[in-house]
Amino acid sequence: MNHERIHIRQQAEWLILPFYLWYVSEYYYHRLKGKSHHAAYRAISFEKEAYAFEEDLEYLSKRRFGAFLRFLK
């Protein structure tokens, strides 16, 4: 559940349409690099952030704007 709450914060911060455009762009970038569907999904920076902090129930109270950017390679 916390994983999805992190996504809601990401969407609110980037506004919904830009969030999904970035999300899909990252997914297709990784697919074009030869990654499988699952690997491309897990490589999306938004997903990396959500998976990294899904167990930390205090994360959203201390999360900074654009925190997903540190998960870009």
Continuous segment of H or E residues that includes residue 3: helix 2-14
What is the pLDDT confidence band of residue 6, given thresholds at 50, 70 and 90? Answer: very high
* Beta strand residue intervals within 6-73, DSSP E: none
- pLDDT 10s digits, 17-55: 999 999 999 999 999 999 999 999 999 999 999 999 999
| pTM score of the predicted model | 0.89
Residue 60's pLDDT band, with cuts at 50, 70 and 90, is very high
Q: In the chain, how many H helices and how many E strands?
A: 5, 0
Q: Where are the domains of the chain?
A: 2-71
Write the DSSP assignment of 8-52 as a string of letters: HHHHHHH-HHHHHHHHHHHHHHHHHTT--HHHHHHHSHHHHHHHH
Q: Has residue 73 got a pLDDT over 90?
A: no
